[in-house]
């Protein structure tokens, strides 16, 4: 018998946002983790008495590409040979060869983006009956009124991926959210007794209702995965590249995470997929990620130990502001030590943001290559103006993944040809790559222009000079 399915988002309609879904729709399993502000449990949708299995199919994965009749090869071949259209879309200061390169790169970007959407693995997100493939985050409510509007406003940072972002493979996948009564679970008295509502426990400080977030469940944190799997140098770079892709995506949406740490990096153990989670300290600050800092009552973020120097040392004033443009990049540079099984010098070591010198940064050798060490040290420069951009670093790491040192030293034309071969291989020979490698390559290809490629190549060349 075919079982019917529904979308979790159908539990929340436009007129009754947060009100139709409830904790009764889910069965909670074991406690996955907890902190000062929330607890996370594994979960699954309940099977109703009529046999309906509620299954999650994120709508952002459903792509209608029926109008595309040409194959990737046909479009790229047509575009590459049709030089007459080159001059309509590119800058006048490029020579003929660069015109051709730029147009072909534009077509590759389009095809990579389209292929990224249409090849998303929908089946991996289907939840078979009986599987705890979900995680539910129970936010602790200490001071907000027990009504939907007040809770949604007070906890809006947690919902930034759901409200401001579309699907990205390296951002935690949120399916839905709802408001319900705080549940008295077995672990509550042991692990988070203060969050229990006062009408249930005299020692509790919590309110009656709170916000629940339904997410995809991931197996391990970064530190757990590194310890258990002992990944190779290439696999560690794949993980780090995924973190940078997440940060680049957030920056383009005017979001800064502000609480980067290994516990907030979750891994799917079977695929090596990494996602950035826990947006409780995140900030949405369009258009330039600069927040006025007029008083010290304004929160700078979460993890003080991994807070960028320019944020830690910023003093409040009428003309002062917190510039977060490269703050997450700096924090990710400190985390790279943990990616390579080394102690984080700013978290586990004696380094402090206010007093360290660039020349004193610990080595990552021999676990990381010399080039990766130089890239990480460039991310950790104390002066943010001396750090490269998130985009440049992300592109550099990807070039290190897919190209050898000889190719990186090539002239522009030869380097372009090598890149095009890699792009075509990515689009058409998917079976030779893991799902993570394929995803990273597509993200890389869909944003490249000749300028961004040569900028990354030039920066790597500068570091090795």
pLDDT score of 189: 94
The verdict on whether 24 is a catalytic residue reads no
How far apart CA 365 and CA 143 sit, in angstroms, is 48
The continuous run of DSSP H or E covering 33 comes out as strand 26-34
DSSP 352-381: -TTT--GGGPPP-TTTS-HHHHHHHHHHT-
What share of the chain in percent tops pLDDT 70? Answer: 78
pLDDT score of 77: 37
Cα within 13 Å of Cα(436), Cβ side: 23
Q: Which of 441, 104, 47, 18 is nearest to 241 (CA)?
A: 441
pLDDT band at 9, cuts 50/70/90? very low
Q: What dihedral do alpha carbons 233, 234, 235, 236 form, nearest 10°?
A: 50
Residue indicated by tokens 């959407």: 117
pLDDT band at 326, cuts 50/70/90? very high
pLDDT score of 99: 58
In the chain, what is the straight-line distance between the N-terminal and C-terminal CA atoms, in Å? 66
* 308: pLDDT strictly greater than 70: yes
pLDDT score of 100: 60
How far apart CA 415 and CA 421 sit, in angstroms, is 10
Q: Are 372 and 364 in contact (CB under 8 A)?
A: yes
Q: Which of 25, 180, 259, 278 is catalytic?
A: 259
Q: Are 41 and 26 in contact (CB under 8 A)?
A: no
How far apart CA 118 and CA 281 sit, in angstroms, is 33
Helix (H, G, I), strand (E, B) or coil at 36: coil
Structure token digits, residue 44: 């699954």
Where do the domains of the chain lie, and which CATH numbers do they carry? 23-46+131-217 (3.30.200.20), 221-394 (1.10.510.10)
Q: Are 312 and 304 in contact (CB under 8 A)?
A: yes
- If one compares 248 and 63, the residue with the highest pLDDT of the two is 248
Q: Which of 462, 442, 448, 378 is nearest to 118 (CA)?
A: 442
Rg (CA), the chain: 24
* 36: pLDDT strictly greater than 60: yes
User: What is the rounded average pLDDT for all residues in the chain?
Assistant: 83
How far apart CA 27 and CA 47 sit, in angstroms, is 9
352-401: pLDDT as tens digits: 999 999 999 999 999 999 999 999 999 999 999 999 999 999 999 999 99
Distances (CA, A) of 31 to 130, 132, 186, 270: 17, 12, 10, 21
**Where are the extended beta strands (E) located within 99-252?**
134-139, 174-181, 209-216, 220-221
Asked which of 92-96, 272-276, 314-318, 409-413 is least confident by mean pLDDT, the reply is: 92-96
Q: Which of 28, 59, 43, 249 is nearest to 160 (CA)?
A: 249
* 85: pLDDT strictly greater than 80: no
* 113: pLDDT strictly greater than 80: no
């Amino acid at each position: 018998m075919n079982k019917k399915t529904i979308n979790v988002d159908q539990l929340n309609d436009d007129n009754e946002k947060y009100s139709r879904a409830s904790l009764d729709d889910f069965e909670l399993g074991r406690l996955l983790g907890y902190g000062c502000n929330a607890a996370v449990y594994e979960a699954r949708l309940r099977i109703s008495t009529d046999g309906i299995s509620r299954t999650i199919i994120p709508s952002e994965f459903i792509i209608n590409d029926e109008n595309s009749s040409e194959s990737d090869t046909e479009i790229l071949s047509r575009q590459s040979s049709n030089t007459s259209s080159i001059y309509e879309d590119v800058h006048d200061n490029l020579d003929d060869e660069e015109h051709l390169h730029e147009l072909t790169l534009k077509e590759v970007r389009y095809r990579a983006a389209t292929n990224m959407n249409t090849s998303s693995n929908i089946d991996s997100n289907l939840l078979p009956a009986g599987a705890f493939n979900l995680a539910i985050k129970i936010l602790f409510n200490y001071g907000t009124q027990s009504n939907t509007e007040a809770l949604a406003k007070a906890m809006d940072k947690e919902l930034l991926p759901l409200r401001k972002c579309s699907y990205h493979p390296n951002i935690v996948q949120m399916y839905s959210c709802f408001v319900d009564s705080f549940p008295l679970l077995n672990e509550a008295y042991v692990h988070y007794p203060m969050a229990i509502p006062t009408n249930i426990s005299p020692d509790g400080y919590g309110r009656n209702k709170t916000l629940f977030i339904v997410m995809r469940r991931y197996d391990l944190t970064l530190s757990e995965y590194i310890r258990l799997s002992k990944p190779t140098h290439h696999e560690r770079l794949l993980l780090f590249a995924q973190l940078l892709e997440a940060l680049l995506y957030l920056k383009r949406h005017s979001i800064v995470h502000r609480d980067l740490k290994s516990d907030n990096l979750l891994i799917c153990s079977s695929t090596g997929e990494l996602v950035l989670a826990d947006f409780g300290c995140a900030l949405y600050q369009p258009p330039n990620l600069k927040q006025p800092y007029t008083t010290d009552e304004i929160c700078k973020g979460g993890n003080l130990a991994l807070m960028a120097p320019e944020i830690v040392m910023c003093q409040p004033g009428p003309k002062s502001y917190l510039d977060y443009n490269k703050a997450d990049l700096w924090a990710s540079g400190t985390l790279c030590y943990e990616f390579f099984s080394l102690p984080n010098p700013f978290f586990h070591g004696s380094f402090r943001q206010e007093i360290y010198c660039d020349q004193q940064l610990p080595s990552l050798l021999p676990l990381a290559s010399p080039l990766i060490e130089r890239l990480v040290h460039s991310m950790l420069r104390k002066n943010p103006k001396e750090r490269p951009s998130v985009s440049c670093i992300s592109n550099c790491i990807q070039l290190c993944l897919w190209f050898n040192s000889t190719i990186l030293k090539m002239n522009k034309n030869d380097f372009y040809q090598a890149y095009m071969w890699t792009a075509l291989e990515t689009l058409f020979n998917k079976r030779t790559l893991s799902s993570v490698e394929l995803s990273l390559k597509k993200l890389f290809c869909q944003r490249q222009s000749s300028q961004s490629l040569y900028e990354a190549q030039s920066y790597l060349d500068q570091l090795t000079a």
